[in-house]
Chains A and B, each alone.
Chain A
Amino acid sequence: MFEYAPAPESRSVVDLKPSYGLFVDGKFVDPADGGSFKSINPASEEVLAEVAEGGAQDVDRAVRAARKAYEKVWGPMSGRDRAKYLFRIARIIQERSRELAVLESLDNGKPIRESRDVDLPLVAAHFFYYAGWADKLPHAGFGSNPRPLGVAAQVIPWNFPLLMLAWKIAPALAAGNTVVLKPAETTPLTALLFAEICQQADLPAGVVNIVTGAGETGRALVEHDGVDKVAFTGSTDVGRAIARAVAGSRKKLTLELGGKAANIVFDDAPVDQAVEGIVNGIFFNQGHVCCAGSRLLIQESVAEQVLESLKRRMAQLRLGDPLDKNTDIGAINSAAQLSRIRELTAAGAAEGAQQWSPPCELPERGFWFAPTIFTGVTQAHRIAREEIFGPVLSVLTFRTPAEAVEKANNTPYGLSAGIWTEKGSRILWMADRLRAGVVWANTFNKFDPTSPFGGYKESGYGREGGRHGLEAYLNV
């Protein structure tokens, strides 16, 4: 590998406070019971800030603030004016994008190249896109006068903290709802900076409320009686628990859950492009991606060639300081996630699959896992069935397109899939048969605010993005 001099992005653009309160009714407030937790930098284990832990009383206060704002301000406001606030937010995000990107990389561990070039542009684009819908709802195909639901409870994961916030808040506000959002406990900081952006945009108090905390805070929020809508992105197990919790209520529910996507490479695929797609599919964001291409299905006749090329490419990946502009693979988000990855990879080896990683020096402090592939994986192995949510790829082979479909669909999940072939008719034949909400053909892990995203089967229900994304926040 070429030696690169370190090229760290400056941290000075971020002005972190030592501690943060909850953002309720337009102000930062202390939690009712005074609890707090620390958010750390997973690349160094350094404490970044102390963050308030919201309890049931805090959740109640936030839901009431959201209700009041819905009834008095945001609900009655014209779509045209709601749009202007959302456009303002989009613009401020663009203006402060480097600050947000650096903070995201600090708190999450993802490479600055990704937070700067993928997350932040998508965040701004998402607000800009839904801003434009706010005054066009009668033309969205949901009847002449679609109505908002009221107060939306939104719980988001740690893998794309600010992007998931945008996916939740932008359509909710465009449709006329107010929100209480709980960021993940390991990555609350960009959501709190977003709260400052709401203040800077003069967004009316109570329209957006941010309640930080862990699982109990989230539970109090989704179970609160004053909530009309629940939107959750995270694990399938928690999604199931939420579906049970809202059963029999009026709360409309959308869930974006786990995945175990097949990335299918046919013998006529251009190998170099396919290998780039495989690498992007599983090592993007350290594999902390629900739609990651975590099961590689290679047509048997080219398996050796593709694997050889993949290994050569993997040896070029640079793992290390997330703020270094040359870094490809950053830190694992938390100690808990690292131990989950270790547990599953140990199971992979124990069940008889062959583990391989390129020579890769891991930093001493922080949470790290080298990019890893397993070959000789069978469909029964845990690493072929369970979501690892890390930089670990399970490789299987197939002979015929029908076998590829069978193996790809042999999972309770159905979020995404990839197809690599030069034959157009085969792409469309495969795309028809894959039970997944997003199918990437000769590309992978592409996202856009206009493009609906969401799963089949146990990957959840509802779509985020595009016209479809409005449906989750309207009474239709």
Chain B
Amino acid sequence: MSERVAVRKTYKLFVGGKFPRSESGRSYLVQDSNVSLASRKDARDAVVAARAAVKGWAGATAYNRGQILYRVAEMLEGRREQFVALGVPGDEVDAATDRWVWYAGWSDKLPQVYGGANPVAGPYFNLSAPEPTGVVAVVAPETPALLGLVSVIAPAIVTGNTVVVAASPTAPLAAVTLAEVLATSDLPGGVVNILTGRLSETVPTLAAHMDVNAIDLTGVTDPELAADLEVKAAENLKRVLRPVAGGHDWSADPGLGRMTALLETKTVWHPKGV
């Protein structure tokens, strides 16, 4: 009896909840697979998808967003072996799963920790609350392929932002596989969009895009490129999360910084009286 011929997977982009090939029809060989090589047009399409998803996702209740992020953790746990087969160490998958759980719980707690009533010197109700900034472009760290990726996506979306992620060019399979996790987690299409390919093609387009509100440069290791992207981002005054000199310790307590960097604070006043 002959051995069964395996069914191989096509690795594609993740845009608007769907898995399209690059509109350019190109792919590149990496990790022994043909992976979509995203174009500038793919980056722009992903921004359109992310923008379309903002209203529903930012408008969802914090409880609902928390439930969905927790559901992502459940789905990731169930696919543990699939990531291990791609070369992601088992304890990294576990840490990534735990990170989703950790951030899931923040959805309905951060507004209390980060906002609140302001005791103004007058007869006014005055309340400050955080709101998502909108569409966030994210350059995922090169490594660790899964934990690094989760650690930049989760803090952006838990508060109601939507993201366009440029995945690690050298280890994109974990990113595409994570997209499959996200696609089966009740996460509305467009909340997370993942582009594979060369950073030099997609990221400058995202940095200069006038409908992107913030950019997370964590995965940019070349200081000159980071500075150039920051200059592009200044055109519409994007909020910029700079890369950390010397790199990140992704196993450390993430703190609130990655969430709060992508938030606006809205303060509402109303007089008190009869």
Chain A residues proximal to chain B, CB less than 8 Å: 125, 141, 143, 236, 239-240, 243-244, 247-248, 255, 257, 412, 427, 431, 436-443, 446, 448, 450-454, 456-458, 460-461, 463, 466, 468, 471, 476
Partner of B128, one of A141, A243, A466: A466
Q: Which B residues are in CB contact (< 8 Å) with A439?
A: 266-269
0 or 1 for each of B105-118: is its CB under 8 Å from A? (1 = yes)? 00000000110001
In this complex, the member of A240, A244, A436, A451 whose beta carbon has the largest number of chain B beta carbons within 10 angstroms is A451
9 contacts between A and B (CB under 8 A): A438-B269, A446-B120, A448-B122, A448-B126, A451-B120, A457-B237, A458-B236, A461-B239, A468-B128
Q: How far is the CA of A77 from the CA of B227 in the complex (A)?
A: 35
- A242 and chain B: residue at smallest CB distance: B234
Q: Which A residues are in CB contact (< 8 Å) with B224?
A: 248
B213 at the interface (CB under 8 A from A): yes
B223 at the interface (CB under 8 A from A): yes
Known: A441-B268, A443-B269, A457-B213. A448 touches B230 (CB 8 A): no
A90 shortest CB reach to chain B, Å: 14
Known: A439-B268, A442-B270. A248 touches B223 (CB 8 A): yes
Q: How far is the CA of A476 from the CA of B114 in the complex (A)?
A: 13
Q: Which A residues are in CB contact (< 8 Å) with B257?
A: 476
Q: Which B residues are in CB contact (< 8 Å) with A431?
A: 266, 268
B136 shortest CB reach to chain A, Å: 13
Q: Which B residues are in CB contact (< 8 Å) with A240?
A: 234-235, 237
Contact B269 A244 (CB under 8 A): no
Contact A448 B235 (CB under 8 A): no
In this complex, the member of B224, B226, B230, B235 whose beta carbon has the largest number of chain A beta carbons within 10 angstroms is B230
Partner of B265, one of A143, A243, A412, A452: A452
Contact B118 A466 (CB under 8 A): yes
Known: A431-B266, A450-B118. A247 touches B230 (CB 8 A): yes
Known: A248-B223, A461-B237. A452 touches B270 (CB 8 A): no
Q: Which A residues are in CB contact (< 8 Å) with B230?
A: 243-244, 247-248
B231 at the interface (CB under 8 A from A): yes
In this complex, the member of B118, B231, B237, B260 whose beta carbon has the largest number of chain A beta carbons within 10 angstroms is B237
- The 9 closest A-B CB pairs, nearest first, are A248-B227, A247-B230, A243-B234, A448-B120, A450-B118, A441-B270, A451-B118, A247-B231, A244-B234
Given contacts A243-B234, A247-B231, A457-B236, 10 further A-B contacts (CB under 8 A): A125-B121, A431-B268, A437-B266, A437-B267, A439-B266, A439-B268, A448-B121, A451-B128, A457-B237, A471-B260
Contact B124 A247 (CB under 8 A): no
A267 shortest CB reach to chain B, Å: 19
Q: Which B residues are in CB contact (< 8 Å) with A471?
A: 260
B119 at the interface (CB under 8 A from A): yes
- A412 and chain B: residue at smallest CB distance: B236
Q: Which A residues are in CB contact (< 8 Å) with B267?
A: 437-439, 451-453
Partner of A243, one of B114, B120, B237: B237
Q: Which B residues are in CB contact (< 8 Å) with A453?
A: 267
Known: A247-B231, A457-B213. A446 touches B237 (CB 8 A): no
Q: How far is the CA of A446 from the CA of B269 in the complex (A)?
A: 8
Contact A436 B237 (CB under 8 A): no
Q: Which B residues are in CB contact (< 8 Å) with A452?
A: 118, 128, 265, 267
Q: How far is the CA of A248 from the CA of B226 in the complex (A)?
A: 6
Q: How far is the CA of A461 from the CA of B122 in the complex (A)?
A: 27
Q: How far is the CA of A236 from the CA of B237 in the complex (A)?
A: 9
Q: Which B residues are in CB contact (< 8 Å) with A476?
A: 257
Contact B237 A451 (CB under 8 A): no
Q: How far is the CA of A77 from the CA of B233 in the complex (A)?
A: 38
Contact B124 A446 (CB under 8 A): yes
A185 shortest CB reach to chain B, Å: 24
Q: How far is the CA of A304 from the CA of B230 in the complex (A)?
A: 48
Known: A247-B227, A448-B121, A452-B128. A441 touches B234 (CB 8 A): no
Known: A446-B122, A466-B128, A476-B257. A454 touches B265 (CB 8 A): yes
Q: Which A residues are in CB contact (< 8 Å) with B237?
A: 236, 239-240, 243, 255, 257, 457-458, 460-461
B264 at the interface (CB under 8 A from A): yes
Q: Which B residues are in CB contact (< 8 Å) with A427?
A: 270
Q: Which A residues are in CB contact (< 8 Å) with B133?
A: 456
Q: Which B residues are in CB contact (< 8 Å) with A437?
A: 264-267
Partner of B126, one of A236, A243, A257, A451: A451
0 or 1 for each of B221-253: is its CB under 8 Å from A? (1 = yes)? 001101110110111110100000000000000
B271 at the interface (CB under 8 A from A): yes
B230 shortest CB reach to chain A, Å: 4
Contact A244 B118 (CB under 8 A): no
Q: Which B residues are in CB contact (< 8 Å) with A125?
A: 121
Q: How far is the CA of A456 from the CA of B132 in the complex (A)?
A: 10
- A141 and chain B: residue at smallest CB distance: B113
- A414 and chain B: residue at smallest CB distance: B264
Q: How far is the CA of A334 from the CA of B227 in the complex (A)?
A: 37
Q: Which B residues are in CB contact (< 8 Å) with A448?
A: 118, 120-122, 126
A439 shortest CB reach to chain B, Å: 5
Partner of A468, one of B228, B236, B265: B265
- A252 and chain B: residue at smallest CB distance: B242
Q: How far is the CA of A441 from the CA of B268 in the complex (A)?
A: 7
